[in-house]
Amino acid sequence: MLKKFTEELKEQREKAGITLQNMAAKTRIDIKFLEALEDGNFNFLPEVYVKAFIKQYAKVVELDEEEILQKYILAKEGKEEAVEKVKQEDTGEKKEDTEEQKTNSDLEFNKPAKIFTDDGTSKKSIEDDKRKQKQLIIGGTVIGVILFMLLVFYIFINGSDDIIVEEKPYEEVLQETPNRYIEEKSNQITEETITPIIEELTLTITNIDSTDSSWVLVIVDDTRAEDFLLLPKISKTIKANNNFKFTLGNSGVVTLILNGEVVDFDGSRGTVRYFKLDVNGLERIFNPPQLSNE
């Protein structure tokens, strides 16, 4: 599936009259990576950079970037039928039925439609149904207990005609009143003075080189990821509450500015490096950062 996908990309490039040298100049991508991409070899860089290259390639040959990226994902999973379907939707082409096809269509019109099911989806649906039934049983039990308690209250407690009020001596009430006022006031002050502390960080990533591009994956506060291709002389600004974790490809052409101050770090051309950045400074890490599962 991947080979067929890359052949279509190459065919589109040649149809547009663009050579590999022209493509390398327009995308700022090394020609050896372009050759590997057209040969169906996607192991030359991490997945995030491969996707960035495909989007840049599609943009130059005037294809829809998101649709081409979706085709790549489906082709990688070996879903040929899904890829053909996406292709038909993208081009808007619709072949006219021949007379023989129309006849066959009319003959098969009343046949029952084939139903394709996914075992994983069916199992998930069954589990969801069981979970809903369990929740209904629990909810019904809780409501039944509440109704029973209300019934007992109205029959045995509320129905009693005797009202008993225990009076306290005036001196005891007088002593409790100031203490209660001081305690409530103290609690009110505590609630007003406790406020959440939220740090806001602004990170600007700039490609200072005039020829090479850089590939960036940023994880914001361990919950949100952004990936992009940073072309020469281009900047990207991202905000976070607590920290950034990012992957830099071709890190030697990049500068980092945190809240208006330049961050000193050891980048290197042609290499991929991983970092963590927060108010305490920059820390190099040695494993690709991941989103938090929490």
Answering whether pTM is above 0.75, one says no
pLDDT(226) > 80: yes
Burial pattern 135-174, b for ≥16 Cβ within 10 A else e, equals: eeeeeeeeeeeeeeeeeeeeeeeeeeeeeeeeeeeeeeee
**Taking every pair of C-alpha atoms in the chain, what is the biggest distance, in angstroms?**
105
pLDDT(139) > 60: yes
pLDDT tens-digit profile of 238-272? 999 999 998 988 888 889 999 989 988 778 888 88
Interacting residues of 220 by C-beta distance below 8 A, sequence separation 6+: 226, 238, 239, 240, 244
Query: pLDDT value at position 129?
Result: 82
pLDDT tens-digit profile of 266-280? 788 888 889 999 988
User: In the chain, how many H helices and how many E strands?
Assistant: 9, 9
Question: How far apart are the C-alpha atoms of 77 and 2, rounded to whole Å?
Answer: 9
CA distances from 21 to 28, 29, 227 (A): 10, 10, 26
- Tokens encoding 27: 């995308």
pLDDT(89) > 90: no
Query: pLDDT value at position 245?
Result: 93
Band (pLDDT 50/70/90 cuts) for residue 123 is low
- Tell the burial category of 111 from Cβ atoms under 10 Å away from its Cβ (0-12, 13-18, 19+): exposed
Domain ranges of the chain: 2-91, 201-285
Residue 155 · residue 147 · CB < 8 Å: no
Question: How far apart are the C-alpha atoms of 88 and 109, rounded to whole Å?
Answer: 23
Query: pLDDT value at position 168?
Result: 52
- Tokens encoding 106: 């009319």
- Tokens encoding 132: 């809903």
Give, for 236, the enclosing helix (H) or strand (E): strand 235-240
Residues 117-136, mean pLDDT to the nearest whole number: 71
pLDDT(236) > 80: yes
Place of tokens 């103290």: 186
pLDDT(85) > 80: no
Residues 73-97, mean pLDDT to the nearest whole number: 56
pLDDT(92) > 70: no
Residue 53: what residue type?
A: F
Region label for 84, one of left (φ > 0), alpha (ψ between -120 and 50) or beta (otherwise) = alpha
- Return phi, psi of residue 23, to 5°: -60, -45
pLDDT tens-digit profile of 142-199? 898 898 888 877 776 655 444 444 455 545 645 555 554 444 444 443 444 434 444 5
pLDDT tens-digit profile of 9-60? 889 889 989 998 998 898 888 888 888 888 888 876 788 888 888 888 889 9
Virtual torsion, Cα 188, 189, 191, 193, nearest 10 deg: 160
Residues 105-126, mean pLDDT to the nearest whole number: 51
Superfamily for domain range 2-91: lambda repressor-like DNA-binding domains (1.10.260.40)
Q: State the first-to-last Cα distance of the chain, in angstroms, to the nearest integer.
A: 35
Q: What are 224's strand-pairing partners?
A: 220
